[in-house]
Amino acid sequence: MSLIEVQRLCKEYSGRQVLKDISFEVQRGEIFVLVGPNGAGKTTLLRILDLLEDPTRGMIRIDGAAIDYLAQNRVTLRRRIGMVFQKTVLFNTTVSKNVAYPLNVKGENERETEKRVKETLKIVQLEGFENKNALKLSGGEAQRVALAQSLIIKPDLLLLDEPTANLDPRNLSIVEEVLSWTNREDKTTIIMATHNMSQAENLANRAALLMEGKIERTGKFREIFSSQSKLLADFARLENIFQGVSRITEEGTSIISVGEGLDIEAAFRKSGNTTIYVRPEDIILSAQPLVSSARNAFKGKITEITDSGPVVKLKVKAGKDFTVQVTKRSFNEMQLNLDSSVFLAFKASSVQIV
């Protein structure tokens, strides 16, 4: 039975179409993953599903009932939905009070709230963090607090916008484990947007490829992203895709030898022939050697510069060719030119399997 039906949904901002005739269904208890590049419309679609924004045209049904965006029951409907954003926003108070906030808004009694907070913090593996200030946590811990805040209401529908972007391998693994547990044990329906191809493959019952505001295809992950898929090539934009042989390290990461003497470390565990990619925006660029915890750090030379308005794309030869994206301001401040020597760094968690 469908929990969510999206019918011919469109969204425009100042005459610009962000979503174009979107239609799909999500079954109750399903994990449905939206995959697509930046600017494809994933965040806008999730905000509409969370009833934070109105569509320009089209309809959404929840449990077969059409959403009336002018009706007073909008707040009631939103209480059935949990939402985790990519950028965590928490209150300047304790972890417990942050997690308890949705129940306090609903007027839940203090004893039940305390019990639910304790149970939920256990699920996200943050026992003992109750009295810590939420704003002093690491990025991964803060994201797990935000996830607990959504889970404490036991939502029928959980929406997630790039929930593991920029997380270290340990926190990434915990978040994925929590999502699998929540879906399995609480039968929570999950709709998640992600760039992480291996994550999509591991978690999704079904996936949808969203490109330039349109759903190009919906189905099982391997049906959409087969090794010969033109859609995959279009999605990855053929930037920073490398093929090599992977071996698993004692630390549980993988080292992929991609040729030209270049070894790339990844947070996943895989051995044998492997194709990987790294998003240009996940690569840090510097004119000086970088002091960073990133597992991958290389020196290279700029071979191509493309000015794209507020951002500049650079091609850097560092054994292999890397495409890197920086703001125009950063580019100017570093006084970069063709043949400039630069330094690249990116996390192991930024390396994804194709």
3-class secondary structure per residue, 22-34: EEEEEECCCEEEE
Task: Measure the CA–CA gap between 154 and 159, rounded to whole angstroms.
Answer: 13
- Asked whether residue 227 carries a pLDDT value surpassing 50, the answer given is no
The predicted pLDDT at position 192 comes to 97
Residue 212 confidence class, pLDDT cut points 50, 70, 90: confident
| Average confidence score pLDDT of the chain | 89
Q: Give whole-number Cα distances, 183 to 99, 158, 178, 207, 258, in Å.
A: 20, 9, 8, 16, 37
Q: Which domains does the chain have, with CATH numbers?
A: 2-234 (3.40.50.300), 241-353 (2.40.50.100)
- Please, is 25 exposed, middle or buried when counting C-beta atoms within 10 Å of its C-beta (0-12, 13-18, 19+)? middle
Q: Are 84 and 163 in contact (CB under 8 A)?
A: yes
The predicted pLDDT at position 127 comes to 96
- Asked whether residue 299 carries a pLDDT value surpassing 90, the answer given is yes
Q: Could you report how far apart the first and last alpha carbons of the chain are, in Å?
A: 32
Average the pLDDT over each of 1-5, 68-72, 294-298, 346-350 and give the range with the smallest value. 68-72
The predicted pLDDT at position 71 comes to 62
Average pLDDT of span 262-285:
91
Torsion of CA 201, 322, 172, 226, to 10 degrees: 0
Residue 58 confidence class, pLDDT cut points 50, 70, 90: very high
* pLDDT tens digits, one per residue of 196-211: 776 787 899 999 988 8
- 226 half-sphere exposure, CB direction, 13 A CA radius: 6
pLDDT > 90: what percent of the chain? 64
Average pLDDT of span 89-93:
95
Task: Measure the CA–CA gap between 133 and 5, rounded to whole angstroms.
Answer: 40
The predicted pLDDT at position 234 comes to 58
Residue 308 confidence class, pLDDT cut points 50, 70, 90: low
Task: State both tokens at 172.
Answer: 């990434």
Average the pLDDT over each of 7-21, 299-313, 332-346 and give the range with the smallest value. 299-313
